[in-house]
Every structure is written in structure tokens, then in C-alpha cells.
Chains A and B, each alone.
Chain A
Amino acid sequence: MNSVLLRADNISKSFGGVQALKDVSLTLNKGEVYGLIGPNGAGKTTFFNCLTGLYVPDSGQFTFGDTPLISHAPDKTVRQGIARTFQNIRLFANMTALENVMVGRHARLRSNIVSDILRTPFNRREEQATEDMALQLLHYVGISARAHDLAKHLSYGDQRRLEIARALATNPRLLCLDEPAAGMNANETAGLRQLIEAIRADGISILLIEHDVQLVMGLCDRIAVLDYGELICEDVPAIVQQHPRVIEAYLGSGAHA
């Protein structure tokens, strides 16, 4: 039950003189919704970028399932089963919602340029299956009515959903969401929460960066708190909430006085 899906060992990363991550180690279990919180600039997104291969950590190692993530190439990370969304939504703005999701399927398809040109029966079947699957995913996240609209014409909340659908299309075992509720109203956040619950129920583990404390506390099985690039605690929400260093990090050291 509590088998480990992702283990980070002593991840460090610095930019110029700034140490963005300092020996961060954490473990994420299969089937968990795992929250990563911390004040602005604590290194959460840097951690994401290291994990998904956009940055190369200065030291430390990730282990995913049984295999170490060595290559630090984003496309290989996706192939191994880690998908992500971005804090500031990064959709393919001038492609339709459907095409966006189909791009997400890229790494799982076996057509190559030759079969694309020849339109082999295999290629046709695969394309049809990809389109079907993409429509299903749009339906799953609740925006199938917008399938043929350009991504940039979608509402903000729908764009967030589309980004999740695109990430799900990569067939991940771990879905990393970078502040998915940012900018959402209460209604949209509630919808998002249901969506995340549903994804978890489908057996995909979730790593969640989020500022909305209520959402994090209500949704996450366990939470890790980063402050100035250091992991200050990792535990279940109830304990994290009471942790003195967490309170200090969020409210400032003055809170003790």
C-alpha cells in the first residue's frame, strides 16, 4: 500500500549566488496527493523544474518507481510517467483544445514521419484512437463542448482544465500541478478539487504546489513545506499546521514574540 513512487535525495540547485534548493529530500507514496507549500520564492517551482527535467540540479537524485531519473531531459521524464502543468498557463494558444490534448499524447504514439506520410492503416488507427482519447479527456475534465475552440479563446478556468487534460494525455503515473487554483474563484476551485479527487481515484498520484491553504489541507494526504530552499517539515496536514517552523515561515519570526 505505502510503496514509494518518487524519492528525492538531497536535491540542490543554485542560480548565481542564490541557493534555490538546499538538500531537499522527500518521498511520495503511490496514490497520494502530496502538497508542496511554502512562501513565495521558497523554491517550489524550482523543485518542479528539476523534477521534470527543465533544470539540471547541481546535486542530488530523483528515483521514480525503481528507476533513477538521470537524464534530466523533459521529454524522457514524460516518457517515464511524470507530467506537469505550469504556474502561468502554457497552452499552445493558437491550436484548438483538441489539438492541445493530442500533442500531449505525443510521447505515447508510435507513428513516425514515414508512416505519417504514407498514412498506413496503423497510422490511421492510431490517429483515430488519439482523437477519441483526447475527446474523452476533454469530456473528463468537463470542457468537451470547447474541443474545437482555440485554446486562447477559452476562459481562464477552462484553460487550467485543458492544461490538466493535456498533461493526463501523456499517461502519467505522477501528475505535477503548479498552483492550479491560482486566480480561480470559489466555484472554480471547488470544481478543481473534484477533478483532482477524480484523478486520484483513477490511480494517478499527484504532486501539488498550491497557495490556497484550505484546498491543500483538505485535499492532501501529506504535505512538505519549503522555506528559503530548505525542507522544514514533511507530514500529514494536521501536524504540519501545528509545526512551529511552518508557522514561523508563514507568519514571520515575530509570531513567536
Chain B
Amino acid sequence: MKMTARFLARLTRHPADNRVHWLAWLLLGLLLAILPWLVSAGFGNTWLRILNFALLYVMLALGLNIVVGFAGLLDMGYIAFYAVGAYLWALLASPQFGLHWPLWAILPLGAGVAGLFGVLLGAPTLKLRGDYLAIVTLGFGEIIRIFLNNLNAPINITNGPQGISAIDPVHIGSLSLARPIDLGFVQVPSLVSYYYLFLIAALAIIGIAIRLERSRVGRAWAAIREDEVAAKACGINTRNVKLLAFAMGATFGGVAGGLFAGFQQFVSPESFGLLESVMVLCMVVLGGMGHIPGVIFGALLLTILPEFFRHIAGPVQQSLFGTVLIDPENLRMLLFGLSLVLVMRYRPSGLWPSPQRRREIEDVQRADAPADVPVSPM
């Protein structure tokens, strides 16, 4: 019996040419390794900084993808966990309280505390679905921001709207990533060392996300997303499994937040507004909900493209009209809003959806087509 099953499994698995894969992965690895040097040589440090932020957003988007994409729980206050991770780092490694904890202590603690917040904020929302859940999580996100903004009195904890500055940079042992590192044959600039740190963290998170997707708990998340009642009837404790999704997603956010604080050496409530939550959600949705490569693509696209735009919009207008007609920042957001509307209309399953997800949405549309309400002229 077991033999037949094994045979069936082998028969039905897709064959892949392993050699080609190896080569592609090797090239990709090489590219990722030399990328910061290429970017800083070709485009300057501004773009290297943007690249580092792109990696932070990859971590955030993958964290939110666990909640929204895997488990189907629409969380619009996700940035709160990023804030928790960032502020925890800021409080434990800055002159604010005179504490200077090391990386290996704060980062896991930040992940853990963020995860705990995930459970605390997730627990009251377990019975809610769809857009109700979205609004409640949005409210939670705002509450956390309001607290960060106001916890400077009567006891000064967060330093209010001014934020916390002079945060310790990331240290690995006695090595500070804020200064160039001399390897003897080459000087590694600070931004490049941060790039490698963020890359390692991002790769770890990608690995975890991939493993979770194809595991017992990943299947349980998908089952809840598909049909909660049937999931219960399969013996899934839906409450615990949902909380696990919130916690896991929040953990990723906490890690990204801690790294952000160490990198920026400054945090303030302004970095954790609703627009940031929306931005991360858009990375997930535009990229392709639930599809890890799509989500990574979405995060990279939405970090890099707007920056690209910001940098060229001014000069282009200058050369075309002789003056800057529209503030590039303004124009950037204008186009962002517009592209959300357009992508939802023409590619509702995202720019790079999993093949399965695309089929699913097309099915929905096809099934609905005959019932469509004809457009009556106004």
C-alpha cells in the first residue's frame, strides 16, 4: 500500500531540471552579493539607502502576507507591529533610558513582544470577518500611534511627537555597522554592511514563509481562508491557528522594526501612520496575495518605483516646462492612488499572482458574468 502511494506521489510530482535551477540560483546569489557595490557605484548612496529600505519592506510585506494572503485575515493596522519592534529597540538601545542592549538580545525580544501584541490585538477580532476586521485593525493601528505620540507625559516614555533620536546603530560584537568596516583588502561602507544584514534577515524570513506555506499550519491557514466551518470540522482549532497567523506576521514586523530603528538611529510616530499600513497592504495585494515571489516583487516595486519617480519628476518637468509645476512628492502619491484603482480594475489578482489564485479570481468573474447587472444609461 505504501509503495503504491510513494509511486503515485512520484508520478504526480512535477519533474524539474535540477541543473538549470542550480545555475540560476547561483547567478541570483552572486547578483545579490555584488548588488550594493554596483548600486553605490552607479547611482550613489541615496539609492543604496532605498535598496536597504526595500529589503525592510520585503520583510514587512511577507509578514503581512501571512495574515492576509495565507490566512485571509484583512489586517489594516499591521504597521503597529513594525512600530512596536522599532520603539522597543529605540527604548532599549538609546540614551532615552540610558540602556544599550546588544542586537542578539533586542531583536528576539522585539520579535517576541511584537508577536505578543499580534495575539493581543488579534484576540478580540477573531469573530470578525472581511472589511469589519479591516476597520478594527485599522483602529488598533491608530490607537498605538496615538499612544506613541502622547506617552511623553506624565512620564516620558516615547518622547512624544519628537521621537527618539541618537539610537545605537546595529552592533555585531564590537563591530558597529554605522562605521565603515575594514576587511584589509576592502573597506565595507556602513550602508553596504546594513545591506548584507538586511539581506540575511530578509532571506531568513523568505525561507520561513516558504516553509510555513507548505506545512501543517500553512494548510490550516489556507483552510480557514477557504471555509472556516469546514476547517473546524477538520479538527482545526481555528482560534489558535488564527492567533498564530497574527503572531507570526507580527513577529516579522517586529524584526523589521528593530532593524529599521538601528539603521535610522531615529524613530518617531510619524513613520507608523495609516498610510504605511496601506502601503504594505498594497505591496501584498498588488504583488499577488499569498504568492511569495509576487509579494516580494510588490514590495520592491512599491519602494523603488515611487523613489525613482520622485527623483526624475522634478528634472523632467524642469526640462519640459522650464519650471516644476507639480511637487514631485505630490505627483508620486497621486500616481500611487491612481495605480491602485487601475490595478484593481484590470489585474485584481495582482501583478504576479500564483497561477492558482489567478484562476480563482477569473472563475469568480466568469461565474458572476451572467448575473451582472446591465449598465443602464444615466
Q: Do chains A and B touch in the complex (CB under 8 A)?
A: yes
Q: Please, how many angstroms separate the alpha-carbon atoms of A170 and B231 in the complex?
A: 12
Whether B236 pairs with A90 at a CB distance below 8 angstroms is: no
Q: Please, how many angstroms separate the alpha-carbon atoms of A147 and B4 in the complex?
A: 14
Q: Which residues from chain A contact B356 at a C-beta distance below 8 Å?
A: 94, 150
Q: Please, how many angstroms separate the alpha-carbon atoms of A83 and B215 in the complex?
A: 22
Q: How far is the CB of A145 from chain B (nearest CB, A)?
A: 9
Q: Which residues from chain A contact B216 at a C-beta distance below 8 Å?
A: 106, 109, 111, 116, 126-127, 130
Interface magnitude class on chain A: 35 or more
A 30-81 contacts with B by CB, 8 A? 52-54, 73-75, 78-79
Q: How far is the CB of B24 from chain A (nearest CB, A)?
A: 22
Whether A170 pairs with B235 at a CB distance below 8 angstroms is: yes
Q: How far is the CB of B203 from chain A (nearest CB, A)?
A: 14
Whether B211 pairs with A103 at a CB distance below 8 angstroms is: no
Stretch at the interface among B157-165, B222-230, B331-339: B222-230
> DSSP class of A's interface residues: helix, strand, loop or mixed?
helix
Residue of A nearest to B212 (CB): A116
> DSSP class of B's interface residues: helix, strand, loop or mixed?
helix
Known: A90-B229, A103-B220, A150-B356. A113 touches B5 (CB 8 A): no
Q: Which residues from chain A contact B230 at a C-beta distance below 8 Å?
A: 86, 90-92
Known: A117-B212, A166-B234, A170-B235. A106 touches B219 (CB 8 A): yes
Q: Which residues from chain B contact A117 at a C-beta distance below 8 Å?
A: 208, 211-212, 215
Whether B222 pairs with A95 at a CB distance below 8 angstroms is: yes
Residue of A nearest to B356 (CB): A94
Interface presence of A102 (CB below 8 A): yes
Whether A106 pairs with B4 at a CB distance below 8 angstroms is: no
Q: Which residues from chain A contact B9 at a C-beta distance below 8 Å?
A: 131-132, 135
Q: How far is the CB of B271 from chain A (nearest CB, A)?
A: 29
Q: Please, how many angstroms separate the alpha-carbon atoms of A160 and B143 in the complex?
A: 47
The residue from B218, B222, B233, B237 contacting A90, defined by CB atoms under 8 A apart: B233
Q: Which residues from chain B contact A111 at a C-beta distance below 8 Å?
A: 215-217
Known: A111-B216, A132-B9. A52 touches B233 (CB 8 A): yes
A 103-162 contacts with B by CB, 8 A? 103-104, 106-109, 111-113, 116-117, 119, 123, 126-127, 130-133, 135-136, 139, 144, 147-148, 150, 152
Interface presence of B327 (CB below 8 A): no
Whether A99 pairs with B235 at a CB distance below 8 angstroms is: no
Whether B233 pairs with A84 at a CB distance below 8 angstroms is: yes
Interface magnitude class on chain B: 35 or more
Residue of A nearest to B219 (CB): A103
Interface presence of B171 (CB below 8 A): no
Whether B236 pairs with A103 at a CB distance below 8 angstroms is: yes
Instruction: Count chain B CB atoms within 10 A of each CB in A102, A106, A150 and give the residue with the most.
Output: A106
Q: Please, how many angstroms separate the alpha-carbon atoms of A86 and B234 in the complex?
A: 12
Q: Please, how many angstroms separate the alpha-carbon atoms of A91 and B230 in the complex?
A: 7
Q: How far is the CB of A220 from chain B (nearest CB, A)?
A: 23
Whether B227 pairs with A92 at a CB distance below 8 angstroms is: yes
B 308-358 contacts with A by CB, 8 A? 356-357
Q: Please, how many angstroms separate the alpha-carbon atoms of A90 and B234 in the complex?
A: 11
Known: A99-B219, A113-B248, A139-B4. A75 touches B226 (CB 8 A): no
Known: A78-B235, A86-B230, A170-B234. A94 touches B360 (CB 8 A): yes
Whether A75 pairs with B232 at a CB distance below 8 angstroms is: yes
Counting from the closest, the 10 A-B pairs by CB-CB distance are A107-B235, A78-B235, A116-B215, A92-B226, A74-B232, A90-B230, A132-B5, A135-B5, A75-B237, A103-B223
Given contacts A54-B229, A78-B235, A135-B8, 9 further A-B contacts (CB under 8 A): A54-B233, A75-B232, A75-B236, A103-B223, A108-B235, A116-B216, A116-B217, A117-B212, A119-B211
